[in-house]
Amino acid sequence: MMDSNTDQLRVSIDRCQKVLRFGTGTILAAFVLIIAATTVSTAEWVQVLCKALYYVIVLDALASVGIWYYRTRLEKSLVEADGGQ
């Protein structure tokens, strides 16, 4: 019974790590797109695009902090479930 609980915790931690990696990629891609778009033009559509990408970066950063906090709680639960080893 305890093994299935720790296995579930490990799976959840792995999922959190995958989401955090995806979020990091999203932030990097948004930065690259902002740089590329502002290099190409300063038209109205570029300003709208860059503003949207800025909000993607901010929201992704906030989500990453929340997921990181949740993952640390899972890791603490995993240590307690393993008996503090």
- Predicted confidence (pLDDT) per residue in 14-24, tens digit: 999 999 999 99
- Domain count of the fold of the chain: 1
Q: Which range marks the domain in which residue 48 is found?
A: 2-79
- In a domain, residue 84? The reply is no
Spatial neighbors of 79 by CB under 8 A, at least 6 apart, are 85
- In a domain, residue 85? The reply is no
Could you give the CA distance from residue 54 to residue 59 in angstroms, rounded to a whole number?
9
pLDDT tier, 1 (very low <50, low <70, confident <90, very high otherwise): very low
Does the pLDDT value for residue 33 go beyond 80?
A: yes
Q: Which two tokens stand for residue 5?
A: 């609980």
- In a domain, residue 33? The reply is yes
- In a domain, residue 18? The reply is yes
Contact (Cβ atoms closer than 8 angstroms) between residue 33 and residue 84: no
